[in-house]
């Protein structure tokens, strides 16, 4: 397999992860991110999700109660761990051995980090997707 073909396959995996995580955020939060980017480097997958706070969460943050939003999101991310890791495991064909999640209020960014079982060969790829107002998660055009 040529190097270009291998890179296309890796980008396809990162894109599948991006779309899967965006879909879960949209389904369970009722609002998905406006932009998402996934990186794969060796045994690490990092997905950055931008612009995903709901109107209620944004209001709480603006009123100085961001800690409540962080606490609620942390509880929810713990509840969603199996679903999030399943997306990554299905896309990569590798077991997730650790999952970490964090949000940042200003700017509005969520980070989903997955550590995979060690691979025989190094992996490096990325996928970025802008999600417009009318786009349905998983159907938006990718760059």
Is 136 among the domain residues?
no
Tokens of residue 119, six digits: 């691979």
Domain region containing 71: 3-130
If one counts the domains in the chain, the total is 1
- Specify if 135 maps to a domain: no
pLDDT in tens, 59-78: 999 999 999 999 999 998 89
Res 125 pLDDT > 90: no
Structure-token match 């369970």, residue found:
28
Q: What is the mean pLDDT of residues 120-132?
A: 68
Percent of the chain with pLDDT over 90: 64
CB contact set of 35 (below 8 Å; sequence gap of 6+):
49, 50, 51, 128, 129, 130, 131
pTM of the model: 0.77
Distance between CA atoms of 45 and 36, rounded to whole angstroms? 13
- Calculate the dihedral angle through the C-alpha atoms of 52, 56, 57, 62, rounding to the nearest 10 degrees: 120
Tokens representing residue 115 in the block: 């550590």
Any domain includes 68:
yes
Task: Confirm if 110 and 49 have CB atoms less than 8 A apart.
Answer: yes
């Amino acid at each position: 397999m040529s190097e270009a073909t291998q890179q296309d396959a890796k980008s396809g995996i990162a894109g599948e992860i991006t779309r899967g995580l965006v879909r879960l955020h949209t389904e369970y939060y009722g609002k998905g991110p406006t932009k998402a980017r996934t990186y794969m480097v060796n045994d690490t997958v990092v997905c950055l999700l931008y612009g995903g706070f709901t109107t209620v969460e944004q209001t709480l943050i603006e009123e100085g109660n961001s800690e409540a939003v962080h606490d609620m999101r942390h509880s929810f991310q713990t509840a969603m761990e199996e679903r999030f890791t399943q997306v990554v495991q299905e896309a990569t064909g590798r077991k997730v051995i650790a999952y970490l999640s964090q949000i940042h209020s200003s700017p509005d960014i969520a980070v989903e980090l997955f550590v995979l079982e060690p691979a025989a060969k190094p992996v490096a790829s990325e996928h970025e997707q802008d999600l417009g107002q009318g786009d349905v998660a998983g159907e938006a055009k990718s760059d």
